[in-house]
Amino acid sequence: MKRVRRLMVKKTNTNFFRWHVNIGITIGAILSLFCITFPSLSAPPQTASASQSIFLEAALGLPQISLNPTAGYAGENVLVIGKGFIPGQNINFSVDGSSVLSYLSGWDGRWPVISETDGSFGSYPPEKVICSVPNLPGGVHTVAAQDEAGDLATASITVLSKLTVSKLQGVSRAQVSATGSGLQANVGLKITFGETQVALTKTDPFGAFNLTFTIPLLPLGNYNLAVSDGTSSQSFSFAVLSNATIVPSIV
């Protein structure tokens, strides 16, 4: 039988504080949990009715989330586990205040993320809550999870820098593409091939770049292909191959 994800929760606009009292009464194997609503100290005495109360299946602590891993490259997926949220609520995710792709992945497909009856999400295998690391400058950023009631939890993620080239060997005058992400935003980059500068570019506001350059005319051998922002650099070993063609002999 498929587990029910949603818990119907009735909300009201009252000037009440919610006091959650976790009362565990064990009778045989039965555990009963209650949520009791008390009137605000500043409000006149009122009688709490059913429409002014929210009954939960578990007493909730402060909302919390954890990430695995806590560092990654742009476009990679991160698993998120949360607890302490109001049950039956849609959970929205953001990084540095901007919404990010997120979903609940399970044996039966992808679903919106909804808190379970115990206020958690992503903690019942095989279901997993997945967020995609957005294209952002390298460094530490804030991931936030928020339910419809406004409960919020945050965790930190480190966006790592990544450089790739389309090939690591080729003949002189061949074209090579280079891309990068997770670099610092709006910084100048210099690409050198051996001792020859082959391209200049600049990262965008998200710390990414994409360009194509030409392998210079050089003798055969291995050369250092480097991308530098003036303070740090990353290098690759590139092999320049012969572009000579073999002419078949005539018998």
CA distance 226 to 250: 45
Q: What's the pLDDT at 231?
A: 83
More confident residue, 17 or 170: 170
Q: Where is pLDDT greater, at 38 or 90? A: 90
Other beta carbons within 10 angstroms of residue 235's beta carbon come to 12
Please say if the pLDDT value at position 113 is more than 90. Answer: yes
C-alpha separations of 58 from 31, 49, 85 in Å: 10, 20, 10
Q: What is the pTM assigned to this prediction?
A: 0.70
Residue 108 is predicted with a pLDDT of 75
Q: How far is CA 64 from CA 23, 72, 85, 142, 152, in A?
A: 22, 21, 8, 13, 8
- Residue 207's nearest CA partner among 142, 150, 163, 151 is 163
Q: What is the pLDDT of residue 13?
A: 36
From 186, 243, 247, select the one nearest 215 (Cα to Cα): 243
Count the Cβ atoms, other than its own, within 10 Å of residue 179. Answer: 14
Could you give the percent of the chain with pLDDT greater than 70?
73
To the nearest whole number, what is the mean pLDDT of the chain? 79
Domains in the chain (CATH in brackets) are 16-52 (no CATH), 64-159 (2.60.40.10), 162-241 (2.60.40.1930)
The burial of 153, by beta-carbon neighbours within 10 Å (0-12 exposed, 13-18 middle, 19 or more buried), is given as buried
For residues 160 and 73, the answer to whether their CB atoms sit within 8 Å is yes
**pLDDT surpassing 90 at residue 154:** yes
Average pLDDT over residues 57-62: 61
pLDDT score of 73 more than 90: yes
